[in-house]
Amino acid sequence: MPDAENPSRHQDLLLHGDPEPVGLLADPHPEDAAHPGSGPVPLALLPDGAAVGERGQLLVAGVDVADLVAVVGTPVFVYDEEHLRRRCREAVAAWGSGVAYASKAFLCQAMARLAYEEGMMIDVSTEGELHVAVSAGVPPTRLVVHGNNKSEAELSRAVQLGVGRIVVDSFDEIARLERLASAAKARPQVMVRVTPGIEAHTHEYVMTGQDDSKFGFGLASGAAKQAVARLARPGSPVELVGLHAHIGSQIFSVESFAKATAVVAHFMGELMESADAVGSIREICMGGGLGVAYVDGEESLSIAEWAKVVREAASAAGVPGNVALTAEPGRAIVASGALTAYTVGTVKEIPGVRTYVSVDGGMSDNPRPVLYGSGYEAFLARCVRSPRPRKVTVVGKHCESGDVIVRDAQIPEDLAVGDVLVTPVTGAYGHSMASNYNKVPRPPVVFVRDGVARVVVRRETAEDLLALEDPDAPALTAEALSSQERR
């Protein structure tokens, strides 16, 4: 494949679909409404630039997906670039210039550059994410540094670079940061992450706002108030500028966001009354977590609607108008902007049990079904609007029985080996959580826009898998080991 032969970071591909796509039409099979899930894939789950070609095939931003995979292979993440830009602009319009893109959802240099170009700050939670963002040309002042266990090296680099915000998460971190800031004669701006005690209605692994959480300072325990008092004290080597809260991910309940906002607002009021942080709290960030629809029947708020809920709750709780309200959307920016294309390799029917459809990816490019039991839709790139009466289980190629991509997928009756099978809404936590399990090279990332495709992250090769190997490495000397012990 061309990207394997020429492993340059960017590779431009001119791939045109039909000159006049017929577009996303009304459902041509209304009779399937009696059998939920058996009709064509729901249009709302596809990227904004998706359309149907004259032969019924899938186009994204004018690029024929079948033509694309013929060049770059499968599996492949395909992102609608204009979709991403539109969501970034929506976030800035709703929240203001302080809104940050939560890069853990999906990060590469092209995405970091895109979010910055569209006016967003970028939230990073490790030195690796920080490095990618800075290497993409994002000014450090437009970065927000997160993490419940920031190392000395991570904090040191953040201070040296002069990042826009550091969100402190523990008393140990405060001690490290104060020491580093004093030594560097810098005064970083920080926010205190508080745990509001709100249990969002979502999977337990992505709940973060409850009292029992590894994140933040608890309000109920008094830890949050102690942290604020320490950071806002006279002569503090850091500058406290605000409060931060994040109650979890994939949240559909507006009440959860409203309740969390009210709790943080009440805490801010207590601080002002006690003079613990007079003049310090000029920002409140309510984190991210806005849910997105993954399967037929799910509905989610828009970014603008989410912001409206938070602003109304803050106003009702008495937050002054001069306090900036902002957020950190990630999934809501990228999830529905991408899809993953696979090639069907095996169809195994077990009479009276189920039919397994094996594709050339799996839990190494989408671990969410394994981790969280997440659901997805599936359809064929050659017939977007075809009914999907056949129920199958789409699985990957890994040596795990749990390597399931879509447990109860509805697909067209004529699915066959060699078909390009597509799962939509894979823009978040696919590429970013991908692994090399079974030594499978990770897929490429392709951005499409105006009929042009760019490989912004190339496919890994077998040689890449050996890049860190050193089977003939010399033994570490006793002197080297003892010097480590003395540190």
**Alpha-carbon distances of 419 from 60, 67, 290, 343, 357, rounded to whole Å:** 18, 13, 34, 6, 11
What are phi and psi for residue 291, nearest 5 degrees?
-75, 155
**Is 88 among the catalytic positions?**
no
What are 38's two structure tokens?
């058996």
What are 298's two structure tokens?
């799910």
Rg (CA), the chain: 24
Q: Exactly one of 88, 108, 285, 399 is catalytic; which is it?
A: 399
**Other beta carbons less than 10 A from residue 484's beta carbon:** 9
In the numeric block, the tokens 């949240």 are attached to 251
Cite the active site residues.
399
